[in-house]
Homo-oligomer: A and B are copies of this chain.
C-alpha cells in the first residue's frame, strides 16, 4: 500500500494578515486529505453512510516549520500507521514543491455507529487493516491536555458559518476562536510551532460556548465548553517560536 498524496494551493481567502496560510487553512487541508484518503481506502463518506457509521476525530497535533505563502502549491502525504480496537492513527507530511517537508501532523480517530453512538472495533475492518503502513508518526502523538481553568474568557454563539451539514461545529472553528483571542502582536511577531488539540464532545448550532484561555511562557492553553457546563468540548495547547 502506498501513501495517499493530495495537492493543495493557498488561495487568497486562506491567508492571514502575514499573507501566509493560516493554521486554520492548513488544518482544514489536513482534514480534507484525511477524508480523501479514507475514501481511497474504501472507508470514506459513502461507505460510512451505507454502514451507519462515522469517523470521529479525537486528537490532532500539527507542527509547522514554514507556513506556505499565498498562491503556493504544496502536497499532503498521508498514511495510517496503526490501528487498535478503538483508535487509529493517521499521519501527515506537508511537502513544498522543492520536496522539503514544511509541516507534519498526527491524528487519532475512532469510528462510531451513529445510531447507538457506540464505537466499532476497528480490527474487524479487514481492508482498513490492510492499509496500515509501518512508518511511525513523524512527530510526537497529540498530547492529552489537562483541565484548563482560564484567566480570560469569551463567549460565542454557534452560527451558520460555524457548522457542517450535521449542524455540528467544524473542527477548525475551535482553533479559529482560540487564535482570535490572542493579541495581534503575538500572532504577527511569533510563529505557531506546534498545536495539540483534543476533541471531546460535539457542539451544535445555536449553543453558546465559553472559550477559556490560560497563557504561560511555555504555551497558550484553551478550553471550550458549553456555557453553564463544566464538560469541555475541546481543549488545546499552542506552542510558539
* Residues of A in contact with B (beta carbons under 8 Å apart): 11-13, 15-19, 22, 24-25, 28, 32, 35, 159-161, 163-167, 170, 176, 179-180, 182, 184, 187, 205-206
In contact, B179 and A16 (Cβ under 8 angstroms): no
In contact, B165 and A179 (Cβ under 8 angstroms): no
Which chain B residues border A25 with CB–CB below 8 Å?
A: 13
In contact, B17 and A35 (Cβ under 8 angstroms): no
Contact of A12 among B19, B32, B184 (CB under 8 A): B32
Give, as a whole number of angstroms, the nearest-CB distance from A209 to chain B.
15
In contact, B13 and A32 (Cβ under 8 angstroms): yes
Tell me the complex Cα distance, A159–B167, Å. 24
Q: Name which residue of chain B comes closest to A24, CB basis.
A: B161
Contact of A22 among B11, B161, B182, B187 (CB under 8 A): B161
In contact, B161 and A176 (Cβ under 8 angstroms): yes
Q: Name which residue of chain B comes closest to A11, CB basis.
A: B32
In contact, B165 and A182 (Cβ under 8 angstroms): no
Which among A11, A32, A179 has the greatest number of chain B C-beta atoms within 10 A?
A: A11
In the complex, besides A16-B161, A17-B166, A160-B180, 18 extra interface pairs with C-beta distance below 8 angstroms are A11-B32, A12-B35, A13-B25, A13-B28, A13-B170, A15-B165, A17-B163, A17-B164, A18-B165, A22-B161, A24-B161, A159-B180, A160-B179, A160-B184, A161-B176, A161-B180, A184-B205, A184-B206
In contact, A160 and B16 (Cβ under 8 angstroms): yes
Give, as a whole number of angstroms, the nearest-CB distance from A15 to chain B.
8
In contact, B184 and A161 (Cβ under 8 angstroms): no
In contact, A187 and B160 (Cβ under 8 angstroms): yes
Q: List 27 contacting pairs A-B, 8 Å CB cutoff, sorted by A.
A: A12-B28, A12-B35, A13-B25, A13-B170, A15-B165, A16-B160, A16-B161, A17-B160, A17-B163, A17-B164, A17-B165, A17-B166, A17-B167, A18-B165, A19-B165, A22-B161, A24-B161, A159-B180, A160-B179, A160-B180, A160-B184, A160-B187, A161-B176, A161-B179, A167-B184, A184-B205, A184-B206
Which chain B residues border A15 with CB–CB below 8 Å?
A: 165
Which chain B residues border A18 with CB–CB below 8 Å?
A: 165
